[in-house]
Structure 1
């Protein structure tokens, strides 16, 4: 059994990972921590930052700094979860890809390699309504989908 855990950096995705690890421990399954980095997010943040700081000419510099921080942040979160898996004697690996989240998640989840997909109910924004990515994915992911709140 292989469990795909979607990690977006939110506390909800980290909580989902904890549930996946508990399931994997009971079922002797492998956990794959999966994250998609979307450069469009870095561009949008850089644009907003440069507009607010009146430094529109430095947008590319801001974008590169933000992109590095995004990659560093998600890698640190996943490495912490990887360490927890090892402490719990759960076989685990991590995979970080670049692209559009919905497309990359669908490609990975529907590859036929997973028995279960686990994700948080909410994303990084922490809004009280179900995450928009979840709404898009829920009906088209082929394996069973466990949504953690």
Structure 2
């Protein structure tokens, strides 16, 4: 069995990943840590920076730096979790793709490789309502979906 764990850099996805360690050990399962980087998010962050700072002449440079920072941040998160999984003797790999979060998660989850999808109940925003991604993918993924709080 393979378990797909959605990693978005939030404390909730970290919690989901740690919960998945126990599941993987009990089921002798392989885990794939999966993250999606969305260029629209980098563009929105760039626009917000420009609007707040008033410094918009270097918009492309800011967008490029933000995009690189997003890559590094998610790579660091995944590497930290991979180290933890390997220390627990759980077979684990990481996968980072670019695109629409909803589309890429649904595509990966429905690829036929996974028996379970694990995700945090909330995203990076930390809002008290359930994850917007959960609302988008809840009925669209074929494997069972475990939401960790």
Give the alignment's TM-score, normalised by structure 2.
0.98
Per-residue displacement from partner, 1:116-148 (whole Å, max 9, x unpaired)? Answer: 000001000000000111111111110000000
Report the CA distance between 1:17 and its aligned residue: 0.4
Q: Does 1:79 align with 2:83?
A: no
> Shift of residue 27 of structure 1?
1.0
Deviations 1:74-117 (A, max 9, x none): 00000000000100000000000000000000000001100000
SS of residue paired to 1:114: coil
Q: Secondary structure at the match of 1:111?
A: coil
1:42 counterpart SS class: helix
Q: TM-score, normalised by structure 1?
A: 0.98
How many equivalent residue pairs? 149
Distance in structure 2 (CA, Å) of the matches to 1:31 and 1:39: 26
Aligned to 2:49: 49
How many Å separate the matches in 2 of 1:33 and 1:132? 19
User: Where does 1:116-127 land on structure 2 (aligned, <5 Å)?
Assistant: 116-127=116-127
Quote the residue 2:2 is aligned against. Answer: 2
The whole-number CA distance in structure 2 between the counterparts of 1:25 and 1:90 is 7
Q: Does 2:95 align with 1:95?
A: yes
The alignment yields a C-alpha RMSD, in angstroms, of 0.6
Any stretches of 5+ residues in structure 2 without a counterpart? Answer: none
Helix, strand or coil for the counterpart of 2:96? strand
Unaligned stretches of 5+ in structure 1? none
Three-state SS of the structure 2 residue aligned to 1:57 is: coil
Deviation of 1:55 (Å)? 1.1
